[in-house]
Amino acid sequence: MEFLQHLIRDYGYFALFIGTFLEGETIMLLCGFAAFTGHLDLTLVMLAGGAGTFFGDQLYFYIGRWKGMAVFERWPKLKGKAYRVACLLHRYRYAVILSFRFFYGLRNVTPFVIGMSPIKAWQYFSLNLIAAVVWSVTFASAGYLFGSAAQTFLHDVKRVEMYVFAAIALAGLALWLVRRMRSKARHEVEDCAAHTPAAEEHPAKDHEPRP
């Protein structure tokens, strides 16, 4: 346990930056809880997590701008999500940029699609910065408040903090697996529908009795 505590204290901010650069809701909650138990500083957690998610989505935006549809040609299963994001972006442009980090299932695709849109880079930069701050403050605070709530019930949450860390991590893993399975099932249904012959190609036979 002492080794894990040192690991969190010494590498927590770096791990948080990398985790949020890739996605990172679960690690943000974990670090928010670590701030409550005193291993990390809550303000630095917000800054590291906000920086990671901001720079990550800036990179994805420019990849979308440079590569365009080549991104989705490489991963064709993402085309359906990209189309949904494009429709949302057409209707709610700025609201989508400010809130896409909370769109589970569409969160990773959205920056690429925004990069392919006519939105100017400086507009995305400004709105993405605001959105990153809101997201990091929300999830870091949620982890911190979770620790506060756990303290109310456990009275000495530091005594069992490693179990709480494990519970948060397992909950995040379980949620990721559920999303993965649902996404896989949806893709299988879509693939099946795409390869099913149209009804008109196989007209029903006339089974009425002959006179």
The pLDDT assigned to 133 comes to 96
Cβ pair 49, 28 in contact under 8 A:
yes
Per-residue HEC secondary structure of 87-153 comes to HHHHHHHHHHHHHHHHCCCCCCCHHHHHHHCCCCHHHHHHHHHHHHHHHHHHHHHHHHHHHHHHHHH
- Say how many CA atoms lie within 13 Å of 112 toward its Cβ: 20
Residues 11-23 have pLDDT tens digits of 789 989 998 988 7
- Give the span between the Cα atoms of 147 and 149, in whole angstroms: 5
How far is the CA of 186 from the CAs of 96, 177, 181, 189, in angstroms?
A: 23, 14, 9, 5
- Min mean pLDDT across 113-122, 155-164, 185-194 is at 185-194
The pLDDT assigned to 162 comes to 60
Residues 40-53 have pLDDT tens digits of 999 999 999 999 99
Cβ pair 129, 54 in contact under 8 A:
yes
Residues 63-94 have pLDDT tens digits of 999 988 887 888 777 788 888 888 998 888 89
Q: Which residue has the tokens 């949904």?
A: 84
Locate the domains of the chain by residue range: 2-162
Residue 201, pLDDT > 60, answer no
How sure is the predictor about 171, in pLDDT bands with cuts at 50, 70 and 90? low
How sure is the predictor about 125, in pLDDT bands with cuts at 50, 70 and 90? very high
How far does CA 59 lie from the centroid of its chain?
15
The mean of the pLDDT values for the chain is 77
Residue 195 in tokens: 């390869």
- Give the span between the Cα atoms of 77 and 142, in whole angstroms: 33
How sure is the predictor about 113, in pLDDT bands with cuts at 50, 70 and 90? very high
- Give the span between the Cα atoms of 87 and 125, in whole angstroms: 21
- Give the span between the Cα atoms of 99 and 106, in whole angstroms: 11
Query: Closest Cα to residue 26, out of 146, 175, 149?
Result: 175
Residue 203, pLDDT > 60, answer no
Strand, helix or coil for residue 85 = helix
Directed axis angle between helix 121-154 and helix 42-67, to 10°?
140
